[in-house]
Amino acid sequence: MDETAKARAFERLVRENQAALYRLAYRLTGNRDDAEDLLTEALTEAWSDFDRFRHDDGFVRWVATIMTHTFLDWKRRASRAEVVSLDNPSPDGDADDEGAWELPDTADDPETIAMRRQFWRAVQKALEELPPEFKAVVVLVDMEGLSYEEAAQALRCPIGTVRSRLHRARTMLRERLKDWL
Protein backbone atom coordinates (compact mmCIF):
# COMPACT_ATOMS: atom_id res chain seq x y z
CA MET A 1 0.00 0.00 0.00
CA ASP A 2 1.50 3.37 -0.96
CA GLU A 3 1.78 6.14 1.65
CA THR A 4 -1.17 8.15 0.31
CA ALA A 5 -3.53 5.16 0.36
CA LYS A 6 -2.22 4.18 3.79
CA ALA A 7 -2.84 7.71 5.11
CA ARG A 8 -6.37 7.78 3.69
CA ALA A 9 -7.21 4.37 5.16
CA PHE A 10 -5.86 5.36 8.57
CA GLU A 11 -7.68 8.70 8.51
CA ARG A 12 -10.96 7.00 7.57
CA LEU A 13 -10.61 4.47 10.42
CA VAL A 14 -9.82 7.23 12.91
CA ARG A 15 -12.77 9.34 11.75
CA GLU A 16 -15.18 6.39 11.94
CA ASN A 17 -14.01 5.34 15.40
CA GLN A 18 -13.00 8.62 17.02
CA ALA A 19 -15.92 8.78 19.47
CA ALA A 20 -15.34 5.24 20.79
CA LEU A 21 -11.59 5.84 21.11
CA TYR A 22 -12.07 9.15 22.92
CA ARG A 23 -14.61 7.56 25.27
CA LEU A 24 -12.08 4.87 26.21
CA ALA A 25 -9.33 7.47 26.70
CA TYR A 26 -11.62 9.54 28.90
CA ARG A 27 -12.67 6.56 30.98
CA LEU A 28 -9.05 5.63 31.55
CA THR A 29 -7.80 9.12 32.40
CA GLY A 30 -10.85 10.77 33.95
CA ASN A 31 -10.33 14.21 32.39
CA ARG A 32 -10.48 15.83 28.97
CA ASP A 33 -6.91 17.09 28.65
CA ASP A 34 -5.31 13.77 29.56
CA ALA A 35 -7.83 11.90 27.39
CA GLU A 36 -6.87 14.02 24.38
CA ASP A 37 -3.17 13.52 25.11
CA LEU A 38 -3.63 9.77 25.54
CA LEU A 39 -5.65 9.49 22.33
CA THR A 40 -3.06 11.51 20.41
CA GLU A 41 -0.19 9.40 21.71
CA ALA A 42 -2.00 6.13 21.00
CA LEU A 43 -2.94 7.20 17.47
CA THR A 44 0.61 8.37 16.79
CA GLU A 45 1.90 4.95 17.79
CA ALA A 46 -0.88 3.26 15.79
CA TRP A 47 0.11 5.26 12.71
CA SER A 48 3.75 4.25 13.03
CA ASP A 49 2.70 0.57 13.31
CA PHE A 50 -0.17 0.73 10.81
CA ASP A 51 1.62 -1.64 8.40
CA ARG A 52 1.27 -4.36 11.04
CA PHE A 53 -2.45 -3.76 11.64
CA ARG A 54 -4.55 -6.80 10.70
CA HIS A 55 -7.94 -5.53 9.57
CA ASP A 56 -9.76 -8.58 10.91
CA ASP A 57 -8.68 -7.62 14.45
CA GLY A 58 -10.79 -4.46 14.50
CA PHE A 59 -9.31 -0.98 14.61
CA VAL A 60 -10.86 0.02 17.94
CA ARG A 61 -9.60 -3.11 19.69
CA TRP A 62 -6.14 -2.64 18.20
CA VAL A 63 -5.88 1.02 19.25
CA ALA A 64 -7.46 0.18 22.64
CA THR A 65 -4.57 -2.20 23.27
CA ILE A 66 -2.05 0.51 22.41
CA MET A 67 -3.96 3.07 24.47
CA THR A 68 -4.20 0.83 27.52
CA HIS A 69 -0.46 0.16 27.48
CA THR A 70 0.27 3.85 27.05
CA PHE A 71 -2.03 4.68 29.98
CA LEU A 72 -0.36 2.08 32.22
CA ASP A 73 3.08 3.42 31.23
CA TRP A 74 1.94 6.94 32.14
CA LYS A 75 0.74 5.73 35.54
CA ARG A 76 4.00 3.92 36.22
CA ARG A 77 5.97 7.06 35.37
CA ALA A 78 3.60 9.28 37.36
CA SER A 79 3.93 7.09 40.44
CA ARG A 80 7.63 7.88 40.46
CA ALA A 81 7.09 11.66 40.46
CA GLU A 82 3.73 13.03 41.59
CA VAL A 83 2.85 16.37 39.98
CA VAL A 84 0.21 18.82 41.17
CA SER A 85 -1.44 20.93 38.48
CA LEU A 86 -1.45 24.65 39.18
CA ASP A 87 -3.76 25.18 36.20
CA ASN A 88 -6.60 23.22 37.77
CA PRO A 89 -7.53 24.21 41.33
CA SER A 90 -10.23 21.54 41.61
CA PRO A 91 -9.33 19.18 44.48
CA ASP A 92 -10.75 16.12 42.72
CA GLY A 93 -9.24 16.51 39.27
CA ASP A 94 -10.83 18.29 36.36
CA ALA A 95 -13.57 20.78 37.19
CA ASP A 96 -14.40 21.22 33.50
CA ASP A 97 -15.39 17.56 33.21
CA GLU A 98 -17.95 17.63 35.99
CA GLY A 99 -20.82 16.33 33.87
CA ALA A 100 -18.88 13.92 31.69
CA TRP A 101 -19.94 10.77 33.55
CA GLU A 102 -23.57 11.70 34.01
CA LEU A 103 -26.40 9.72 32.52
CA PRO A 104 -28.82 11.55 30.25
CA ASP A 105 -31.62 13.13 32.25
CA THR A 106 -34.85 11.24 31.73
CA ALA A 107 -36.59 12.18 34.98
CA ASP A 108 -38.43 15.36 35.83
CA ASP A 109 -37.95 14.92 39.56
CA PRO A 110 -35.12 17.25 40.75
CA GLU A 111 -34.28 14.93 43.63
CA THR A 112 -33.78 11.99 41.25
CA ILE A 113 -31.62 14.14 39.00
CA ALA A 114 -29.47 15.26 41.93
CA MET A 115 -29.10 11.71 43.27
CA ARG A 116 -28.08 10.39 39.85
CA ARG A 117 -25.42 13.11 39.50
CA GLN A 118 -24.07 12.37 42.96
CA PHE A 119 -23.98 8.65 42.20
CA TRP A 120 -21.98 9.09 38.98
CA ARG A 121 -19.57 11.46 40.71
CA ALA A 122 -19.07 8.78 43.38
CA VAL A 123 -18.49 6.15 40.67
CA GLN A 124 -15.95 8.37 38.91
CA LYS A 125 -14.15 9.07 42.19
CA ALA A 126 -14.10 5.36 43.07
CA LEU A 127 -12.66 4.50 39.65
CA GLU A 128 -9.97 7.17 40.02
CA GLU A 129 -8.92 5.64 43.35
CA LEU A 130 -8.32 2.18 41.85
CA PRO A 131 -4.75 1.14 41.02
CA PRO A 132 -4.13 1.65 37.27
CA GLU A 133 -4.05 -2.07 36.43
CA PHE A 134 -7.42 -2.59 38.12
CA LYS A 135 -8.95 0.53 36.57
CA ALA A 136 -7.83 -0.58 33.10
CA VAL A 137 -9.47 -4.00 33.42
CA VAL A 138 -12.75 -2.51 34.72
CA VAL A 139 -12.85 -0.02 31.86
CA LEU A 140 -12.05 -2.66 29.23
CA VAL A 141 -14.41 -5.40 30.48
CA ASP A 142 -17.24 -3.65 32.31
CA MET A 143 -17.41 -0.37 30.41
CA GLU A 144 -16.13 -1.15 26.92
CA GLY A 145 -17.56 -4.67 26.79
CA LEU A 146 -14.39 -6.59 25.92
CA SER A 147 -14.35 -10.29 26.71
CA TYR A 148 -11.84 -11.63 29.22
CA GLU A 149 -9.78 -12.98 26.32
CA GLU A 150 -9.78 -9.62 24.51
CA ALA A 151 -8.86 -7.78 27.71
CA ALA A 152 -6.05 -10.28 28.34
CA GLN A 153 -4.70 -9.60 24.85
CA ALA A 154 -5.00 -5.84 25.32
CA LEU A 155 -3.24 -5.98 28.69
CA ARG A 156 -0.78 -8.68 27.56
CA CYS A 157 -1.47 -10.84 30.58
CA PRO A 158 -3.10 -14.24 31.21
CA ILE A 159 -6.89 -14.52 31.38
CA GLY A 160 -6.59 -15.61 35.01
CA THR A 161 -4.89 -12.31 35.81
CA VAL A 162 -7.73 -10.41 34.12
CA ARG A 163 -10.29 -12.37 36.13
CA SER A 164 -8.50 -11.85 39.45
CA ARG A 165 -7.90 -8.13 38.82
CA LEU A 166 -11.51 -7.68 37.80
CA HIS A 167 -12.74 -9.51 40.89
CA ARG A 168 -10.49 -7.45 43.16
CA ALA A 169 -11.43 -4.20 41.37
CA ARG A 170 -15.14 -4.93 41.66
CA THR A 171 -14.69 -5.73 45.36
CA MET A 172 -12.87 -2.41 45.86
CA LEU A 173 -15.57 -0.54 43.94
CA ARG A 174 -18.34 -2.24 45.93
CA GLU A 175 -16.60 -1.23 49.16
CA ARG A 176 -16.13 2.37 48.02
CA LEU A 177 -19.72 2.59 46.77
CA LYS A 178 -21.40 0.66 49.61
CA ASP A 179 -23.44 3.70 50.63
CA TRP A 180 -24.93 3.78 47.12
CA LEU A 181 -25.61 0.08 46.65
* pLDDT digit string, tens, across residues 18-50: 999 999 999 999 889 999 999 999 999 999 989
Phi-psi region of 93 (alpha: psi -120 to 50; beta: other; left: phi over 0): left
26/80 same-domain check: yes
How many domains, the chain? 2
Condensed to tens digits (0 to 9), the pLDDT of residues 51-105 reads 888 876 789 989 998 999 999 888 887 766 544 444 444 445 454 554 454 555 4
Continuous H helices in the chain = 3-29, 32-48, 59-80, 110-129, 132-138, 148-155, 159-176
Nearest-5° angle of CA 119, CA 121, CA 123?
A: 70
63/43 same-domain check: yes
Q: Are 62 and 22 in contact (CB under 8 A)?
A: no
Q: Is 9 exposed, middle or buried (0-12, 13-18, 19+ CB in 10 A)?
A: middle
Residue 81 maps to which CATH number? 1.10.1740.10
In whole angstroms, what is the distance from residue 14 CA to residue 60 CA? 9
Q: For residue 134, give its domain range.
A: 101-181
In whole angstroms, what is the distance from residue 149 CA to residue 125 CA? 28
In whole angstroms, what is the distance from residue 134 CA to residue 180 CA? 21
What pLDDT is attached to residue 1?
67
57/4 same-domain check: yes
Residue 138 maps to which CATH number? 1.10.10.10
Condensed to tens digits (0 to 9), the pLDDT of residues 100-157 reads 545 554 555 788 778 888 888 888 889 989 999 999 999 999 888 889 998 998 898 9
Within 10 angstroms of residue 81's Cβ, the number of other Cβ atoms is: 6
Domain stops at, among 93, 118, 134: 93
